[in-house]
Amino acid sequence: MALPLPNPNASQTFSSRMKTWSRPPRRLTMTTGGKFFVLLTLTVGFGAINTGNNLLFLLMGMLLSLITVSGLLSEAVLRSIHASRKLPARLVAGQETACTYIVKNASDSPSLSLEIADLTATALAGPAALDSRRLGLFRHPWWKVWKKSQNEGRALASAYAVRIEPKSVTEIEGAVNFPVRGRFRLEHVTALTRFPFGLFEKSREWDSEQEVLVEPSPLDEESWRGALLSRLGEVDTHKEGPGEEFFGLREFREGEDARAIHWKSSARRNTLLVRETERRHHRRVVVVVLDRAPAPTGPDYDRFEIGIRRTAGLLHSLHAAGFTIGRGPEDYERILDSLATIALAPGNPILDSKPADATRIVMGLQTSLDATSLDPDDVALSFDEGSS
């Protein structure tokens, strides 16, 4: 019995289907040079029609044919390709990171001068999501020719290839750069070409949803790091392990490093003894970032952003120095993810109970810290202080 094939559109909502249906198959914008070119064409055309000078008609024919050929060839470039993206696992705001686009060219002819890009992203969490911002490249309608450029901003990720061979699948290396931290949804992969003359930019896009998490760009804060390391120091673990303090003696085992033998004791006992050291261990720290502040103002949000970056820098420093952050490596990753999406909101900060075996570092705006009852052992770091 034949089973009905699943409908790929079944899960789509009506509005998304309408959006897909109403989307133009190609987008066309003029570059700055293209605007001058069109203006020149109109001028020559007017001159030709006004004077009846056939040589001007000839020139107009040339200009119009350049436009025509431009449209045909750019269509040939885009017609038979399909693109998808491969982004790196971790992205840091403001840092250019390598990425890859996979382009399949099903045509018998090569696609020339092709750019694949993620032009925009929707902010789902983080500071950009507060005002429902879309990041990336914004395009003015084609008829707003008086704009200096039809595009504003820049693509979030892009890659360029001079040529995609026919009947091939090619990986193009590009770069991705999100200006701000947060969690974003990429919705389309766009292929653009200004081939062959750079007068017009034609593009087509494919639906390709993917969520990305952009971590804050770490900012190293010397004063914070120095203050913390001088205060936290190291603790005894009462366990054997790598370290410098004497822990005990035991018999030498076959295969152990001979340099560990304690020769004096061995001579005294008349058997080979090895010197054991006590394992040294860094303190476990718990980082708390206060994301509530009573009546935050505009500058507070800016200081908060800087503070998040400094927090990220501090976490990197502590991690590199061997501190255990949270409950272990998983927590470290989780905290970094939280730092990507945390956003300042008005309200009273809430502080959980202090863990017994860890030093708690409480960070936030000064107004948040003031509104919180801190434990005397807590380390409080204010976003309002520091060199940044």
List the x/- string, 369-388, binding to other proteins by CB under 8 A: --------------------
What phi, psi does 346 have (nearest 5°)? Answer: -70, 145
Contact call for residue 196 and other proteins (CB under 8 A): yes
Asked if 311 contacts 363 with a C-beta cutoff of 8 angstroms, the reply is: yes
Strand pairing report for 284-289 and 359-364: parallel
Give the C-alpha separation, 385 to 365, whole Å: 9
Neighbours of 365 (CB within 10 A): 25
Nearer to other proteins, 162 or 350 (CB): 162
Q: Shortest Cβ distance from residue 10 to other proteins (Å)?
A: 17
What phi, psi does 61 have (nearest 5°)? Answer: -60, -40
Contact call for residue 84 and other proteins (CB under 8 A): yes
Q: Shortest Cβ distance from residue 166 to other proteins (Å)?
A: 10
Contact call for residue 9 and other proteins (CB under 8 A): no
User: According to CB under 8 A, which residues from 94 to 123 bind other proteins?
Assistant: 102-104, 110, 112-113
Q: Shortest Cβ distance from residue 208 to other proteins (Å)?
A: 10
Strand pairing report for 273-282 and 27-30: unpaired
Nearer to other proteins, 112 or 125 (CB): 112
* Residue among 168, 247, 179 nearest 217 (CA): 179
Considering only 163, 185, 250, 327, the residue that binds other proteins (CB under 8 A) is: 163
Asked if 131 contacts 191 with a C-beta cutoff of 8 angstroms, the reply is: no
Considering only 30, 56, 78, 186, the residue that binds other proteins (CB under 8 A) is: 56
Give the C-alpha separation, 214 to 176, whole Å: 11
Q: Which stretch binds other proteins (CB under 8 A): 49-57, 270-278, 294-302, 352-360?
A: 49-57
Asked if 180 contacts 153 with a C-beta cutoff of 8 angstroms, the reply is: no
Contact call for residue 64 and other proteins (CB under 8 A): yes
Q: Which stretch binds other proteins (CB under 8 A): 12-20, 192-200, 248-256, 304-312?
A: 192-200
Q: Shortest Cβ distance from residue 318 to other proteins (Å)?
A: 35
Q: Shortest Cβ distance from residue 197 to other proteins (Å)?
A: 4
Contact call for residue 2 and other proteins (CB under 8 A): yes
Residue-wise burial string across 334-359, b where 16 or more C-beta atoms lie within 10 A, e elsewhere:
ebbeebbbbbbeeeebebeeeeeebb
Q: Shortest Cβ distance from residue 19 to other proteins (Å)?
A: 23
Considering just the CA atoms, what is the radius of gyration of the chain in Å?
31
- Binding residues for other proteins, per CB under 8 A? 2-3, 5, 33, 36, 40, 44, 47-62, 64-66, 68-69, 73, 82-84, 102-104, 110, 112-113, 160, 162-163, 167, 169, 194-199
